[in-house]
Amino acid sequence: AQFLTDEIKEEKKIQKHKSLPKVSGGWELEVHGTEAKLVRKIAGEKITVTFNINNSIPPSAEEDTQEQQKPDEQEPELTSTPNFVVEVIKDDTKQTLVLDCHYPEDEIGHEGEEESDIFTIREVSFQPTGEADWKDTNYTLNTDSLDWALYDHLMDFLADRGVDNTFADELIELSTALEHQEYIKFLEDLKSFVKCQ
């Protein structure tokens, strides 16, 4: 419990955001535990972006950094890069277009190419609007084998709806803050659990 008390103090000291950072572009945020949902309405459409912070911190290449790290150096900052699902619902259809997006592990932190996207679309499908469970029987398009021109159009389609690189950067910021907040809460719960007789 004493160790956890110190640990919590340290984590609070390095906590960047006391309250969760906002995502620009008129997105409304709902948080349920580790799941977050961003909602935005534009002419005749509702766009929701959902992500879960669990397992969202990529495994760090700790083996390499251990040797070079000086004892007084700060630990490298952890960044949460969750997969996120974009749902586009048009008012007059019974179908929702679902795009499953993720941050490619090798792309993070490589600022080399100006134009490169920091997230990719992995899968695209249509799902019945308003149904909680998605059907495995609905055709799901895997983008690995997709014509690149169509893929570019899908990325443009998302960008037109506010899901672009700026959004993806802000989502990392939000997710990282949420993950850290939940981690501190977990340490606090663990401390009370351990102390409980």
DSSP string, 72-135: TSPPPPP-----EEEEEEETT-SEEEEEEEE--TTTTT----SS--SSEEEEEEEEETT-SSPP
Whether the CB-CB separation of 27 and 162 falls below 8 Å is answered with yes
Task: Give the lowest-confidence range in 6-20, 62-76, 122-136, 151-165.
Answer: 62-76
Q: Would you say residue 67 has pLDDT above 50?
A: no
Percent of the chain with pLDDT over 70: 86
* CA 175/CA 180 separation, integer angstroms: 8
pLDDT at 16: 86
* CA 92/CA 46 separation, integer angstroms: 11
- Average pLDDT value for residue range 14-41: 94
Task: Give the lowest-confidence range in 87-101, 110-124, 140-154.
Answer: 110-124
Q: Hey, what CATH topology would domain 1-55+79-102+119-195 get? A: Mitochondrial Matrix Protein; Chain A (3.10.280)
* CA 114/CA 86 separation, integer angstroms: 24
User: Is residue 76 very low, low, confident or very high in pLDDT (cuts 50, 70, 90)?
Assistant: low
Strand order from edge to edge, sheet including 28-32: 28-32, 35-42, 45-52, 84-90, 95-102, 120-128, 140-142
pLDDT at 24: 94
Instruction: Tell me the two tokens of residue 28.
Output: 């409304």
Q: Would you say residue 187 has pLDDT above 60?
A: yes
Q: CA dist 164 to 40, 51, 109, 118, 151, Å? A: 14, 16, 17, 9, 14
User: Is residue 113 very low, low, confident or very high in pLDDT (cuts 50, 70, 90)?
Assistant: very low
